[in-house]
A and B are shown apart, each in its own frame.
Chain A
Amino acid sequence: MLGVVRQRLGCGTMLRRAVERAGPAASLAGKNYSTAAKELTVRDALNSALDEEMAADPKVFIMGEEVGEYQGAYKVSRGLLEKYGPDRVRDTPITEAGFAGIGVGAAYYGLRPVVEFMTFNFSMQAIDHIINSAAKSNYMSSGQLSVPIVFRGPNGAAAGVGAQHSQCYSAWYASCPGLKVLTPYSSEDARGLLKAAIRDPDPVVFLENELLYGESFPVAADVLDPNFCLPIGKAKIEREGKHVTITSFSKMVGYALQAAEILSKDGISAEVINLRSIRPLDRDTITASVKKTNRLVTVEEGFPQHGVGAEICAVVVEECFEYLDAPVERIAGADVPMPYAANLERLAVPQVEDIVRAAKRACYRSIPIAAAA
């Protein structure tokens, strides 16, 4: 569990306050990296991160549909209304544009809103505020107005929810200067990145994944520390390898790890990178890995054109073209709106076999197949 960054500057008082509130699990008395690590679901990781940040700073508040009395549409904000009251956990009417803008206006004046979109598909109704009033304000006002806001919610495909509830927005938001875009995978990512996002003075788009909420991951004791934060802009190498680099984010990290297992049985050692941060993209981890392995497969769930994989491919060509021994393989969702039928949906989203096939292609272990129509 490397890559932990303690918040510098003035976290001392926060630490003391947080320790008073934190339970025994977060005791700092002795760092015990117990071998029997605690299991934490992503949902609980997010919930505990929100809880601790709200306890530490009274300016943090949550706003969104069903975040209060319903305990969160996906139960991510369970228990917070009882603890912090309706002033700080605000149920809103169905007004994405309105409440996203209200969050921005509140952030201009130093409050720290965490605005939840029930899914990021609904953020399209508020995208004017995310881009034009949140992302661009610090620049347009030349530093006078910073916007310490977090827009969070589930992103990407779920199970059988149809075309209008399944789009992945990482590429869209990541192309916009002024935003930071984070995509956690594990519970450690969820906790560390959400805390970093809430403490960050800039607008952060925090893309979770509905299917990961219930998944449980082992976490070390220091992840449960109330001041645990991960740096924004740094990717994590989930599995080291020698022959091919696989970049992925969010749910696809799990698939990539499974693919790496399968590939290892065929003698291909794959290095799996969990991007964690789409903007800023950790170009250096990616290029260092490509320089080591000379082959790259990018995996994402979203639409292929102008996607995250396209950007990574361009970055690698710009920075380490001579190191590539094979063309970059891009795995993305199918270039169609998400179908409903279960078998078609499985075809429209990358599966483990697709990643394995692409990795083998990159290693010249199979005849190259032309890109599917």
Chain B
Amino acid sequence: MSSFSALKILPSHPIAGEYRRHSSPFHAAPASRLLRSSGANYLSSTSSVTAAGRPVRVLSANVVSNEKQIGSALAAITSKEALDLYEDMVLGRSFEDMCAQMYYRGKMFGFVHLYNGQEAVSTGFIRLLTARDTVVSTYRDHVHALSKGVPARAVMAELFGKTTGCCRGQGGSMHMFSREHNLIGGFAFIGEGIPVATGAAFSSKYRREVLKENCDDVTIAFFGDGTCNNGQFFECLNMAALWKLPIVFVVENNLWAIGMSHFRATSDPEIWKKGPPFGIPGVHVDGMDVLKVREVAKDAVARARRGDGPTLVECETYRFRGHSLADPDELRNPDEKARYSSRDPIATLKKYVLEHNLVSESELKAIDKKIDELVEEAVEFADSSPAPPRSQLLENVFADPKGFGIGPDGKYRCEDPGFTQGTAQV
């Protein structure tokens, strides 16, 4: 099984038919030719891609400008979806902007990593998932939490370190967990979330095949360009492909790992190419365009749900702010920042939906207002919430609190009334 034939021998469901790299910094003409030629094989060999039997086209700005040829019949989304996507991205943006304000006012502290500019990736993928599907993220996880459905007030209270936060203030910015929404982290170590996500996908498959439950839950692992040089990433590509796990590996390639440029750190910067050597289809998509991301996501998620195994999706995206609020962000070229700012995903979507008459200007303004109020309310809620009580310090180290051992009276220490007051000796 040669690596280059891996794309062809997979079941004939294309991940993305054709797509264009939009102002790609990569020079990879030969590679894109390879992909397009394999893509052409797909296109000719499948017929069941869309209801209309036409190959999936991932939209690009080129297509938007050529809309007159295509016609509004092929508008990628309905009005309802447009509003949902817009609202989710605006929520992500406003929330992160508010985080920056709160940080500089001292209400938030420690490490805070903001997601401005990358909203299309989170919205494009997560809004397609069901409540039972799992999302695993990194330390840049506020917006993944919001897209997955964790209430803004719970996330804000967590950031303020209050007991009403989604982890009662125990986790903080980098450790967002919500069992109810199947958001399992929030990991500070890069690459740490990838094996955990692979395990979540493993559990989904185990439930279906060994426990015979009705389970087709999919897991999405988000991580960055720097992580793709880490050993755990490759270990998990191997095992996910080996065991055909229902997982999508999403690389948010924002070209920078703190101050380390992706090109200085990586021998072959094209991350999507790292999938096929493991037998996983690799896809590159313009991560500044939520519609393109969504089309790729649909295929990748459907593929995983069907049981056809993992996909590696590289989203070319950009973070408008520094790595964290403590990062002076001096190494990035202002021209690069300006170039990506002009491709702001929210502005792009807004332009698209207005041109296609999917929604009106006033509806969008209403959403903006609604989100502003929501975020303000979240701040007020977090501000007025209490700090964790002293007894919370010793709680939840173990699910079975007997892990604190057996006390002098022969009984388990956790049964000592002083224990829950936080005054017992342990």
Chain A residues proximal to chain B, CB less than 8 Å:
58-59, 61, 87-88, 92-93, 95, 97-111, 128-129, 132-133, 137-148, 177-178, 180, 200-202, 231-234, 277, 280-284
Chain B 168-189 interface 0/1 with A at a Cβ cutoff of 8 Å (1 = within): 1111000101110000111111
Q: Mark B193-224, 1 if CB is under 8 A from A, else 0.
A: 01111111111101101110000000000000
Within the complex, the shortest CB–CB distance from B230 to chain A, in Å, comes to 9
- The answer on a CB contact under 8 Å between A144 and B167 is yes
Whether B26 is near chain A, meaning CB under 8 Å from some CB there, is: no
| Complex Cα gap A101–B136 (Å) | 12
Residues of B within 8 A of A111 (CB): 202-203, 206
Q: Is the CB of A142 within 8 A of B396?
A: yes
Which A residue sits closest to B163, measured CB to CB?
Answer: A142
Complex CA distance for A80 and B396, rounded to whole angstroms: 34
Q: Are A105 and B198 in contact (CB under 8 A)?
A: yes
Asked if A59 and B211 make an inter-chain contact with CB atoms under 8 angstroms apart, the answer reads: yes
How far, in whole Å, are A233 and B401 apart by their CA atoms in the complex?
11
Task: Determine whether the beta carbon of B171 is less than 8 Å from that of A282.
Answer: no
Residues of B within 8 A of A283 (CB): 405
Q: In the complex, which range does the number of interface residues on chain B fall in?
A: 35 or more
Whether A231 touches B200, Cβ cut-off 8 Å, given contacts A59-B211, A141-B171, is no
Decide if B235 touches A128 in the complex (CB within 8 Å). no
Residues in B neighbouring A180, C-beta threshold 8 A: 398, 403
Q: Which one of B170, B178, B188, B195 has the highest number of Cβ atoms from chain A below 10 Å of its Cβ?
A: B195
Complex: how many Å from CA A294 to CA B189?
A: 47
Residues of B within 8 A of A202 (CB): 398-400, 403
B-side residues, CB < 8 A to A, are 134, 136, 167-171, 175, 177-179, 184-189, 192, 194-204, 206-207, 209-211, 231-232, 235-236, 238-239, 242, 395-400, 402-408, 410, 412
Question: Is B399 a contact partner of A105 (Cβ separation < 8 A)?
Answer: no
Cβ contact of A201, chosen from B177, B203, B400, cutoff 8 A: B400
Name the A residues within 8 Å of B167 (CB-CB).
140-142, 144
Please, which residues of chain A bring their CB within 8 A of the CB of B189? 128, 132
Residue of B nearest to A277 (CB): B405
> Which residue of B200, B239, B242, B403 contacts A108 across the interface (Cβ within 8 Å)?
B200
> Considering the chains assembled together, what is the distance between the CA atoms of A103 and B201 in angstroms?
11
Tell me whether A284 and B211 are in contact in the complex, defined as CB-CB below 8 angstroms, given that A95-B238, A98-B198, A132-B192 are known contacts: no
- Contact B199–A107 (Cβ < 8 Å): yes
With A133-B187, A138-B397: A284-B407 Cβ-Cβ less than 8 Å: yes
Look across to chain A and name the residue whose beta carbon is closest to the beta carbon of B408. A284
Residues in B whose Cβ lies below 8 Å from that of A100: 195
A177 contact from B395, B397, B402, Cβ within 8 A: B397
- Given contact pairs A98-B238, A280-B403, enumerate 6 new A-B contacts (beta carbons under 8 Å): A108-B196, A139-B170, A140-B171, A140-B175, A233-B405, A233-B406
Docked CA distance A306–B185 (Å): 32
Q: How many Å lie between the Cα of A61 and that of B205 in the bound state?
A: 13
Supposing A59-B211, A105-B195, A133-B192 touch, asked if A280 and B239 sit within 8 A by C-beta, the answer is no
Question: Of all chain B residues, which has the CB nearest A233?
Answer: B405
How far apart are A292's CB and chain B's nearest CB, in angstroms? 14
Residues from chain B with a CB closer than 8 A to the CB of A87 are: 206, 209-210
- Report the 5 A-B pairs with minimum CB-CB distance, sorted nearest first: A105-B199, A101-B195, A98-B235, A280-B405, A146-B399
Which of B199, B209, B395, B410 touches A101 (beta carbons < 8 Å)? B199
Q: Is A105 within 8 A of B203, CB to CB?
A: yes
Contact A284 B406 (CB under 8 A): yes
Residues of B within 8 A of A137 (CB): 177, 185
